[in-house]
Amino acid sequence: MKLVKEEAIPAVGRVEVASAFRLEALNACSKGASNSRHLTFAALDLIPLDQPDTVTSFTKLCARWRQAGARSKWGLGAYYDPAKPQHNQVARFHVDGTGWRTWGFSYGRASSGCNSL
């Protein structure tokens, strides 16, 4: 994906793919959104390999996402909550190119980790 190369990697360095295409059964099992972009192979979940901690990773990712702006059509699943840091200790995040938006654990914008960084 172009967004991974041009936006995510410059923000957090090397990444590992944690999830790509999902069949409906796997998506349901992993508690993915019912309209997940993974179902159409239009999304990747990634884990940064070079960042020292979750806060650093999401701070850099969210800043890069804001800088990219709506023209990028970057969908960023920012699964970070400073009140619950144990929920995503590997800083896993979602990238798709189907619309500029962000969300977090509840799949709504209000839960995006970018709101607190």
Q: Residues 53-80: pLDDT tens digits? A: 999 999 999 999 999 999 999 999 999 9
Mean of the per-residue pLDDT values of the chain = 95
The pLDDT of 96-102, averaged and rounded, is 97
Dihedral of alpha carbons 110, 80, 27, 23, sign: positive
Which residue from 44, 79, 43, 86 is spatially nearest to 61, judged by alpha carbons? Answer: 79
| pLDDT recorded at residue 96 | 97
**pLDDT at 101 exceeding the cut of 80:** yes
Q: What mean pLDDT is predicted for residues 19-27? A: 95
CA distance 34 to 48: 26
Tell me the pTM. 0.93
Is residue 28's pLDDT more than 80? Answer: yes
Q: Is the pLDDT of residue 52 over 90?
A: no
How far is the C-alpha of 110 from the C-alpha of 30, rounded, in Å? 21
**Which residues lie closer than 8 Å to 101 by C-beta, 6 or more apart?**
75, 76, 109
Q: Which domains does the chain have, with CATH numbers?
A: 2-116 (3.30.1380)
- Per-residue pLDDT band for 85 (boundaries 50, 70, 90) equals confident
